[in-house]
Amino acid sequence: MDNLTNLTAIDAVKYLQKREISATDLVYASINRISEVDKIVNALPTVIFDKAIEDARYITDNVPKDIPRGYLYGLPIAIKDLTDVKGVISTKGSTIYKDYIPQKSDVLVENLESKGGVIIAKSNTPEFGAGSNTFNDVFGKTLNPWDISKTCGGSSGGSAVALATGQVWLATGSDLGGSLRIPASFCSVVGLRPTAGLVAHGPRILPFSNLAVEGPMGRNVMDLSLLLDAQSGININDPISMYGNSISYVDSASMPIRPSKIAYSPDLGIAKVDSEVLEICSKALSKFESAGSKIELIDSYFDKAEDTFQVLRAAYFAMNMDNILKNHREELKKEIVWNIEKGLDLTSEQIFDAEINRGKIVFNTSKIFEQYDLLVCPTVLTPPFDVNLRYLEEIDGIKFDTYIGWLILTFALTLTGCPVISIPCGFTESGLPVGLQVMAPWSQENFLLSTSAYFESILELRNKVPILPVE
């Protein structure tokens, strides 16, 4: 079969299941594509080709009799470099870990391998996943395939670019302040921040924290749903992990649902959004309205979201990385040093206020969902920007106070704890992708994926990737 890299993940798995293609066919197709395009975009700096070939052969000959939900039949996957894969360099985007080879895989990787996934590469990420622009001192910059002079976003930037360029069919990511959603928006793929606990993780310093979550990325909603089926499930190492819905996520995505009533906020009442982004998102919403959904503009329910997130994030960094700061200060990028020190300097009053205000945001969000099926807003304030910028410092003359200020539309929704997805909704006049955030009530991934599949069909952008990098 020609052009295997152009297959959707769903179709690839169907062909694998029927033995019309083999897992090794897909591995070699992935290897060839990586060799062709990754030298341009630098999405997958660590490859695992020999083991992938070996694993593909084993899976082909050892398909289980009782097929588990989300079984992948040897489909190659990229794993974000924050996540450990046994025997493979795991840098976390930091020179501190440039030679670190873990002796055990994270539970996320073990789960995917048990579901027939073949790990073929590690995807690039900024240092410790901080900053939402994918560059580091180990592997350098990852470039946006739609325009290699632009950033791909982050921190799951390598995964998004690998998907957009057809190097892999599925890829993992993680999300604290928008790290699954922002690169999805910037690369015209799909990224889901699921409800905390739906995708289990390995042991953590803060096992009950729900700010950072693991999640799936795909070229389209159906593909992403397949990976979520494979990823989801309870694990003893994650005390907040939970079983997914009894209905598979692929089944939900295969039955698109038109939402009746949508709450739309162009800026969540707290941000300045680029005018072209607003226009593209508005046109997308008008298509949903023409198809029968009722769209209503809502007032802000996110007062103090920026201060709240900044405090909670800083505390998270301080608790997780205090020892790293003590032992490796000179090896950390300046933004991470600032973030850890901000956390260490927080007062109890600041933390109390942040937690209380997060509670108010959660309560206000529940009131939104008493009236509406979904909340929709732009994913990012701006289209992809110059890759040489460490971060976006201003928009339309309005300066950001911190290096993560431009992430406000994603991190505001992080505070809710609700599942939220970024789907492609259009392109700027210069051909740069724009994404739309769609959020559903807590733990309602099935409904979110059904409605997102509906949006995807209305917007007709499903087949825009994979692409060759635009130089």
Q: Nearest-5° angle of CA 358, CA 360, CA 363?
A: 110
pLDDT of residue 350: 98
Instruction: Report the DSSP pairing between strands 213-218 and 190-193.
Output: antiparallel
Compute the average pLDDT of residues 408-414. 98
Q: Do 188 and 146 meet the contact criterion of CB atoms below 8 Å apart?
A: yes
Which of the four pLDDT bands, split at 50, 70 and 90, describes residue 142? Answer: very high
Q: Residue 195 carries which DSSP code?
A: P
pLDDT of residue 245: 85
Whether the pTM exceeds 0.85: the reply is yes
What is the amino acid identity at position 318?
A: A
List, for residues 14-43, the tens digit of each pLDDT value: 999 999 999 999 999 999 999 999 999 999
Helix, strand or coil for residue 406? helix
Catalytic residue among 30, 80, 293, 333: 80
CA distances 1 to 4, 21, 25, 37, Å, are 7, 8, 9, 21
Phi, then psi, of 153 in degrees rounded to 5? 80, -170
Would you call 450 a catalytic residue per the annotation? no
Phi, then psi, of 8 in degrees rounded to 5? -70, 160
Would you call 80 a catalytic residue per the annotation? yes
Query: Computed from CA positions of residues 157, 158, 161, 163, in that sequence, does the dihedral angle turn out positive or negative?
Result: negative
CA distances 280 to 14, 260, 381, Å, are 35, 22, 12
pLDDT of residue 243: 85
Question: At residue 338, does pLDDT exceed 90?
Answer: yes
Q: What is the mean pLDDT of the chain?
A: 97
Domains of the chain as residue ranges with CATH: 4-459 (3.90.1300.10)
Catalytic residue among 94, 132, 155, 159: 155
Torsion of CA 80, 85, 89, 92, to 10 degrees: 40
List, for residues 94-127, the tens digit of each pLDDT value: 999 999 999 999 999 999 999 999 999 999 999 9
Question: What are the residues whose beta carbons fall under 8 Å from the beta carbon of 84, sequence distance 6 or more?
Answer: 90, 102, 104, 105, 106, 109, 202
pLDDT of residue 300: 81
Q: Treating both helix axes as pointing N-terminal to C-terminal, what angle do 221-231 and 9-17 enclose, rounded to 10 degrees? A: 60
What is the amino acid identity at position 224?
A: L
Would you call 155 a catalytic residue per the annotation? yes
List, for residues 288-302, the tens digit of each pLDDT value: 999 999 999 998 889
Question: At residue 1, does pLDDT exceed 80?
Answer: no
Catalytic residue among 179, 248, 293, 422: 179
Q: State how far the Cα of 295 lies from the Cα of 277, in Å rounded to an integer.
A: 18
In the structure encoding, which two tokens stand for residue 128, read together? Answer: 């410790």
